Amino acid sequence: MSKFIVAGARALSGEIAVNGSKNAALAVLAATLLGKGQSQIENVPEISDVRVFLEILKYLGAKVDFSNRVVTVDATAAESRQVSSELAGQLRGSVLLAGALLGRFGRVGLQKPGGDAIGSRPIDVHLDGFKKLGATIRENDLIEIEGKLEGTKISLPISSVTGTENLIMAAVLAQGVTEIRMAATEPHVQDLCDFLIAMGAKISGVGTPTLRITGVRFLTGARFRICSDEIETVTFAVAAAVTRGQVTIHNVNVENLDAPLAAFDRMGVKFILQGGKNKDSGRLQILKSDEPYRAAKIVTGVFPQLLTDEQPLLGVLATQAEGETLIHDWIYEGRQGYLRVLVEMGAKVVFDDVHRARITGPVKLKAAEIRTPDLRAGASILIASLVADGQSIIYNAEIIDRGYERLDERLNQLGAKIERTE
């Protein structure tokens, strides 16, 4: 078990580059299973979720190499094997194997997904979509999905991110045309579509809620660059703002930040955004300010609205803002775990129900010894401890390593004082 020992009350300053998106990388790596030939995926973050996913690809028979943030995969000889619950259970993203293996081999056996710290996380949307494409589903200890798939119209009852990704992967090699309505539009869904198009798939409507997929006979490997991680961008931006620092964030995708930047505007965080030609060549500068931050309504939604993964970061900012901030996150019933930790650190929070809470600020946060309930909560708590008076300890730091590459070292480059001990 690693822990972070954090010395608080230090303003951040300097320059930092964001890495590729975790959730885009997992979807694109799953999609490599659909192709015959070698794929080269650049800008893959060196995080533990990616390492576990690559172990799964190897187990399925793919040839895999990972160095300098470039993954080379050749899944020509892959097979639809049963992945053990020890391996698949380590990351929720393993649910993406369903669409990829079903699409390529016409059958897949899935472990039943459990709930986790952020909520119950059902997969009915995925399974109903597979059925509409013509698959039969048998549920015993495993969920066995099988069938020769044919294109059809699928209207999703909920714009599930991995549900949309699974159905796209199932449809690209199906016979005929599939239309997915109410599709998730998140940047990682767009990256998956763009990678599949590079592999030879026919998909239109990318980035909109209506995707039209015309099945093709085969897909090849392709070269692709993962988009920059907007959640990591918001993480560094909030860390700079709450510590009253000045930080320039490089490799930003300016297209994916409308909602968090609108929240910054309303809350009084000053910034300069400069676009770049590519999806990871923009720049976001958070400017030092001594003026009070203001409370705001923070409501999550489907992209381009505020992502549920960005909400806990803005919650930390709300503890430093004047007035009452409403946090309304309808997506998961377990996304308030970080707020309970912030209360231990001195935050004033009223919990209305599992989806809504009101934070009154500003408060002086104090150091605490804590465990984080989940990845995004972990990043928020780490940032809160950068502002807090005194020395905080976060006991289960490896949860943060699942989604952030060396976050401790990179914050230290900006002047934080975080020590990792085993």
Q: Virtual CA dihedral for 373, 374, 379, 385, nearest 10 degrees? A: 0
Q: Is residue 204 left, alpha or beta, with left meaning phi > 0 and alpha meaning psi from -120 to 50?
A: beta
> Is 65 marked as binding a ligand?
no
Chain-centroid distance of CA 286 in Å reads: 22
> Greatest CA span in the chain, whole angstroms?
62
Please state, in angstroms and rounded to a whole number, the distance separating the CA atoms of residues 321 and 293.
4
Two structure tokens written together for 152: 């059809």
| Contact code string over 393-412 relative to ligand EPU, x by CB under 6 A | ----------x---------
Selected binder of ligand EPU within 29, 52, 56, 125 (CB under 6 A): 125
> Is 148 marked as binding a ligand?
no
- Give yes or no for residue 180 binding ligand EPU (CB under 6 A): no
State in angstroms the smallest separation of the CB of 3 from ligand EPU: 20
Candidates 116, 112, 105; CA nearest to 127 is 112
DSSP state for residue 187 in the 8-state scheme: H
Q: Are strands 321-328 and 297-299 parallel, antiparallel or unpaired?
A: parallel
Please state, in angstroms and rounded to a whole number, the distance separating the CA atoms of residues 160 and 259.
19
State in angstroms the smallest separation of the CB of 308 from ligand EPU: 5
Q: Phi/psi at 18 (nearest 5 deg)? A: -90, 155
Choosing from 49, 65, 74, 116, which is the catalytic residue? 116
Binding segment for ligand EPU (CB under 6 A), chosen from 67-75, 119-127, 281-289, 390-398, is 119-127
Candidates 276, 284, 315; CA nearest to 299 is 315
8 Å CB contact between 397 and 4:
yes
| Contact code string over 183-202 relative to ligand EPU, x by CB under 6 A | -----x--------------
> Is 22 marked as binding a ligand?
yes
Task: Clarify whether 389 is annotated catalytic.
Answer: no
State in angstroms the smallest separation of the CB of 228 from ligand EPU: 15
Selected binder of ligand EPU within 124, 344, 389, 419 (CB under 6 A): 124
Selected binder of ligand EPU within 104, 250, 279, 376 (CB under 6 A): 376
Which 76-115 residues touch ligand EPU, going by CB under 6 A?
92-93
Which 285-314 residues touch ligand EPU, going by CB under 6 A?
307-309
Q: Which residue numbers belong to the known binding site?
A: 22-23, 92, 309, 331
Q: Interface with ligand EPU by CB under 6 A: which residues?
A: 22-23, 26, 92-93, 119-126, 158, 160-163, 188, 307-309, 331-332, 375-376, 403
Which residues are catalytically annotated?
116
